[in-house]
Amino acid sequence: MQIYADENMPLVHEFFSQLGEVTTFDGRKVTAAQLSQADILLVRSVTPVGPMLLADNQQLRFVGTATIGTDHIDQAYLQRQNIAFSAAPGCNAQSVVEYVLSSMWCLAERYQWQLTDKTVGIVGVGNIGGRLARALNALGIPVLLCDPIRAAQEPDFPHTDFTTLCQQADIVSLHTPMQKQGPNATWHLFNDATLASLKPQCALINASRGGVIDNQALLAAQQQHRRPLVLDVWEQEPDILQALLPYCDIATAHIAGHSVEGKARGTEMLYQRCCELLGVTPEIALAALLPRPAVEKLQISANFGLPDVQSVARMLYDVRRDDALLRQHLQQHGFDWLRKSYPARREYSALQLVGQAVPAWLGQLGFNSQI
């Protein structure tokens, strides 16, 4: 079995060597000729998979992407070719939530906001948006949820339509997939008109896909009237619109989902899917492969309260580090180098909170607790 995998897929040898020979490639530069002998192809978000890339291959059985987003995959083509496909839904959802929380705390500090007085509009309430809503709920921060697809399927879903959300939210966080066409298309969901419909000081956070915001329209809007802005994703990555950088409070290199756990879970999910496809019993589990976190336990006293969460969370992840990395290194090393050399970052779950009175709502944020 010939397994070809993106070189930025952690633990791919540990998981997949059981199933065959693993060869790695540069996900931006990989060619059809390189993949002609692949039985299994494992990619990340930087590799568009379709007829062009698979033209020289007659034997491919499975394509997997170790990501949540699937906009780089021509799924209709794979289906026509009878090639099985799987993404890794939810693999790095917690990582993105921690990115957004860290960004909100950073904005709150910079603009001296009380977050419990702000209403957060979440656009796209799936794995990430849903988790974020639960986390904000635990922190006592009001939310508005916009997801027309869920609203059509779930009679009890508390949907706020997009226009109303734009008019009422103080912070808007985007968590939709990238969809170019159809009734729920998200491409340039934020354009000249919709940007203008937001409250003047409404903060905008995009950790979904770059194209959900028209970046040129955003730049023009920011030049006219600057609003708080957090961008993890950009149009035309890796050649991003650098003129936007000075207008961002936080600017990062599409790393919101790059926690150690988030990336490794993506590899594990594809391994499990491949085992299923090949009728093999999985022998490897992620828990045994994850490195020990630098800090494993924290003793919580009965005085631990909401204001203390931010300090504990920041010990694990502070988005300002990644903002500084992009601003410092983008010119010299480029966007992809920043992603490839991303420093290890553990999720909240890596830290055991111990004590007699660990508040239950910390679980809603993703922390592990133990009495």
Ligand X SMILES: NC(=O)c1ccc[n+]([C@@H]2O[C@H](COP(=O)([O-])OP(=O)(O)OC[C@H]3O[C@@H](n4cnc5c(N)ncnc54)[C@H](O)[C@@H]3O)[C@@H](O)[C@H]2O)c1
Give the full edge-to-edge strand order of the sheet including 297-299: 297-299, 352-354, 368-370
Contact 175, 129 (CB under 8 A): yes
Is residue 212 close enough to count as binding ligand DEZ by CB under 6 A? no
Binding residue numbers: 45, 67, 147, 176, 207-209, 232, 257
Is residue 90 close enough to count as binding ligand X by CB under 6 A? yes
Contact 221, 244 (CB under 8 A): no
Is residue 323 close enough to count as binding ligand X by CB under 6 A? no
Stretch that binds ligand DEZ, among 104-112, 215-223, 252-260, 270-278 (CB under 6 A): 252-260
Catalytic residue among 44, 131, 227, 254: 254
Of 192 and 336, the one with the shorter C-beta distance to ligand DEZ is 336
Residues 6+ away with beta carbon under 8 Å from 304: 355, 357, 358, 359
- Tell me if residue 237 is catalytic: yes
CA atoms within 13 A on the CB side of 138: 21
Phi and psi of 268, rounded to 5°? -60, -40
Least distance (Å) from ligand DEZ to the CB of residue 322?
A: 13
Tell me how far apart the alpha carbons of residues 262 and 14 are, in angstroms, rounded to a whole number: 16
Tell me how far apart the alpha carbons of residues 19 and 41 are, in angstroms, rounded to a whole number: 13
- Per DSSP, which regions of the chain are E strands? 2-6, 21-25, 40-43, 62-65, 84-86, 120-123, 143-146, 171-174, 203-206, 229-231, 250-251, 297-299, 352-354, 368-370
Residue of 35, 41, 46, 338 interacting with ligand DEZ (CB under 6 A): 46
Contact 95, 262 (CB under 8 A): yes
Is residue 359 close enough to count as binding ligand DEZ by CB under 6 A? no
Find the binding residues for ligand DEZ in span 55-84 (CB under 6 A): 67-69
Of 194 and 352, the one with the shorter C-beta distance to ligand X is 194
124 binds, among ligand X, ligand DEZ, none (CB under 5 to 8 A by kind): ligand X
Phi and psi of 23, rounded to 5°? -120, 135
- Tell me if residue 292 is catalytic: no
Find the binding residues for ligand DEZ in span 82-111 (CB under 6 A): 92
Query: Can you read off the two tokens belonging to residue 185?
Result: 């298309």
Is residue 257 close enough to count as binding ligand DEZ by CB under 6 A? yes
Of 127 and 222, the one with the shorter C-beta distance to ligand DEZ is 127
Tell me how far apart the alpha carbons of residues 88 and 67 are, in angstroms, rounded to a whole number: 5
148 binds, among ligand X, ligand DEZ, none (CB under 5 to 8 A by kind): ligand X
- Tell me if residue 209 is catalytic: yes
Find the binding residues for ligand X in span 94-113 (CB under 6 A): 96
Least distance (Å) from ligand DEZ to the CB of residue 254?
A: 6
Find the binding residues for ligand X in span 151-180 (CB under 6 A): 175-179
Contact 85, 66 (CB under 8 A): no
Query: Can you read off the two tokens belonging to residue 306?
Result: 């909401």
Residues of this chain that bind ligand DEZ (CB under 6 A): 8, 44-46, 67-69, 92, 254, 257-258
Residues of this chain that bind ligand X (CB under 6 A): 68-69, 90, 92-93, 96, 123-129, 146-150, 175-179, 184, 186, 207-209, 232-233, 254, 256-257
Q: Which residues are part of the catalytic machinery?
A: 209, 237, 254
